[in-house]
Structure 1
């Protein structure tokens, strides 16, 4: 039986759809019952039998930091997809990020070892990959992480989580790690998900930024994970990026598909510098949640281009074009608006 953590998230819900559609026996973890409706909603995008597919999943209420409950989830499990994570770039959320991303991952690794799981796939992020001093040089899986760099709190904890997974490999656990870029998928239009970008564009964005980063369609992430788990590949990490694209180009493509005017004013570095300082000051004075950090402001104008060739060469993998992914996600966003 397969265990999926983070089953009610963007990656987890799409993974569950693919696994049960392929006839796999699946157990999934959830923390709050109300989040289960998100999974059904995602299933309904792609099937007229969403309830039937959803009911094939064995759901267990558990938290990845609640080891006793997790132990029940691991009974008779052969493979684990660890998708659960906390996504936040707010500096004051560091302790919570550590608790979920690092300590929670350590618990999953420890139980995978204890229950002699065959293989574990960990969903990390390109945030946990190092950067090159030369912005024109492609970042690959061997690019060294620099602990002294001004890394975001999210990046630090995802890198720390990877160290726990690699530790598990030293204890005899077969693992694969995937590092997706910005994942484009539907159903999660709020919070830290990339779906929020589609919502913001639709509601009207005035400014764009010129930074470059990697993007990938959610089903490419899922297909890569499943293929890697089915293969003999172990103890390897893979960057998952379909295309490197500027934020400006991405926003323009989304705006076009949504039939909305794209943002036309560039947010200059000095403006973002002022924005994150004011954001910090507001947080300190009245306790308002942070909306932009120093690291966010910096990355908005940084050029980070990723080499996706390892997965292509290893699995003969074919990525979906980002234009297609944007079109599909926009269609589903507009469909949700009609409801």
Structure 2
């Protein structure tokens, strides 16, 4: 099968490209911005990702497009109109690629979206499902939702099969953002007031996410479906910090401060968003992927964390 991958140099895309090239029989072409970017496999240079991008050479003779490129979530966006900046890339750029894919006869379009389409928080024991009404709360989530809606409309009106995958926080070797910050905190072994957090959060190991994406490329039943993905085992923030410390061979220094006190302290300091990520719950239900695709996460959370912290272990 001929596959075009966008975002092939990113955190998810680079691992996906590696497994597609070395563990499947698919023929991979990576869309890159500069010639000579990929280590192996074919590449095609595409300078930008917007409504005017010419994808004609990239999609020629391709059977599947995996679209992992995006304007990533920016924690402190300084642009004057963030939602429009996200829309230019994540909505207009995505739908332009999808329309040109239809014209080229591409059969399936696999879109890497985000759990932010569902929302930011769940009540404990009430995970998000694919049936829930979207409730994004930031420009990034809104742009991903609008791209999904446009893709599904295209699927209804053309022969293109669309598959949407919504991951929560992805961790693995080279992860940045919140996971990298947590590794740094554990490495420094600073006392942290996170010893009594009883929330529940879903995460997904990089290799588990990539495995589901490849399944969505190959499985007939994935056509025109949305899938949530995780490791299948949810953890509290306290459990996560302790598990990371064990994987790194370090002790966790977590002080048992009540979460209610932390919420008040975060509000006083203007850090409500940080408190929500650390103290709130965000769970996803992966029953649909299990039942419809007969998919199970190949890595346990323990195995995933060991791989993720490898370069941080002394």
Q: TM-score, normalised by structure 2?
A: 0.84
Which structure 1 residue ranges, 5 or more long, are not aligned?
Answer: 40-53, 278-291
Residue from 268, 271, 276 that aligns with 1:298 = 276
Match in the other structure for 1:175: 162
Are residues 103 and 248 of structure 1, via their aligned partners in 2, closer, same or farther at CA, if it must alter by over 3 Å? farther
Are residues 76 and 313 of structure 1, via their aligned partners in 2, closer, same or farther at CA, if it must alter by over 3 Å? same
Match in the other structure for 2:141: 155
SS state of the match for residue 176, structure 1?
A: strand
Match in the other structure for 1:73: 58
Match in the other structure for 1:255: 245
Q: Using the alignment, how far apart are the partners of 2:191 and 2:78 within structure 1? A: 28
Match in the other structure for 2:211: 223
| Structure 1 residue 60, shift from structure 2 partner | 2.1
Are residues 304 and 241 of structure 1, via their aligned partners in 2, closer, same or farther at CA, if it must alter by over 3 Å? same
* Residues paired across the two proteins, number: 297
Match in the other structure for 1:245: 235
| Structure 1 residue 196, shift from structure 2 partner | 4.6
Aligned residues of 2:172 and 2:309 also touching (Cα < 8 A)? no
Q: Using the alignment, how far apart are the partners of 1:269 and 1:238 within structure 2? A: 32
Match in the other structure for 1:115: 104
- Per-residue CA deviation, residues 134-178 of structure 1 (Å, 9 max, x unaligned), is 44322211111236xxx1332222222222222221232201111
Are residues 193 and 295 of structure 1, via their aligned partners in 2, closer, same or farther at CA, if it must alter by over 3 Å? closer
Match in the other structure for 1:23: 25
Are residues 57 and 33 of structure 1, via their aligned partners in 2, closer, same or farther at CA, if it must alter by over 3 Å? closer
Taking only aligned residues, the RMSD between alpha carbons, in angstroms, comes to 2.7
Q: Does 1:7 align with 2:8?
A: yes
Which structure 2 residue ranges, 5 or more long, are not aligned?
Answer: none
Structure having the larger proportion of residues in helix: 1
Q: Does 1:212 align with 2:190?
A: no
Match in the other structure for 1:89: 75
Aligned residues of 1:82 and 1:121 also touching (Cα < 8 A)? yes
Are residues 60 and 310 of structure 1, via their aligned partners in 2, closer, same or farther at CA, if it must alter by over 3 Å? same
| Structure 1 residue 68, shift from structure 2 partner | 4.1
Q: Using the alignment, how far apart are the partners of 1:61 and 1:237 within structure 2? A: 27
Match in the other structure for 2:264: 270
More divergent stretch after superposition (241-250 vs 92-101): 92-101
| Structure 1 residue 193, shift from structure 2 partner | 6.9
| Structure 1 residue 205, shift from structure 2 partner | 4.9
Residue from 124, 133, 136 that aligns with 1:144 = 133
Aligned residues of 1:113 and 1:171 also touching (Cα < 8 A)? no
Aligned residues of 1:187 and 1:333 also touching (Cα < 8 A)? no
Aligned residues of 2:51 and 2:92 also touching (Cα < 8 A)? no
Q: TM-score, normalised by structure 1?
A: 0.78
Q: Using the alignment, how far apart are the partners of 1:202 and 1:32 within structure 2? A: 36
Q: Using the alignment, how far apart are the partners of 1:125 and 1:176 within structure 2? A: 13
Match in the other structure for 1:55: 40
- Per-residue CA deviation, residues 100-143 of structure 1 (Å, 9 max, x unaligned), is 22222222222222222100111111111247874432221111
